[in-house]
């Protein structure tokens, strides 16, 4: 009488070709990716700019980490605010 392979045996045979560390890291990577995606989706629901605002905001924050980029962004922002104030004389001074 020949024994039919069980589901567990067939799964073990298929997973046997991978190293245990690969299985653990791929599972952990999948969980981290799902968590990050969940956070992006919830942030997109709450952010006024939606998904586009979250993506561009994240890119700007990532660029600010580069040395010297934060100062350049701040100086450009000040120049743009000055141009806007110059074009709109009734604009309050509180805006910056």
- Could you tell me the residue ranges of all domains in the chain? 18-65, 68-96
Q: What is the pLDDT of residue 53?
A: 85
Lowest-confidence region among 26-40, 52-66, 78-92: 78-92
The rounded percent of the chain whose pLDDT value lies above 70 is 90
Are the C-beta atoms of 36 and 46 separated by less than 8 Å? no
Q: Can you tell me the mean pLDDT for 39-62?
A: 85
Q: What is the spatial distance between Cα 28 and Cα 1, in angstroms, rounded to a whole number?
A: 42
The residue count for the chain: 96
At 2-47, the pLDDT tens digits run 577 799 989 888 888 989 899 899 999 999 999 999 988 888 888 8
């Amino acid at each position: 009488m020949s024994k039919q392979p069980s589901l567990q045996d067939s799964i073990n045979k298929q997973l046997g070709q991978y190293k245990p560390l690969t299985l653990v890291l791929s599972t952990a990577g999948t969980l981290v990716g799902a968590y990050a995606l969940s956070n992006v989706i919830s942030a997109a629901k709450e952010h006024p700019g939606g998904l586009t605002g979250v993506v561009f905001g994240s890119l700007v924050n990532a660029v600010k980490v580069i040395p010297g980029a934060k100062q350049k962004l701040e100086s450009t922002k000040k120049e743009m605010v000055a141009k806007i104030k110059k074009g709109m004389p009734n604009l309050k001074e509180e805006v910056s």
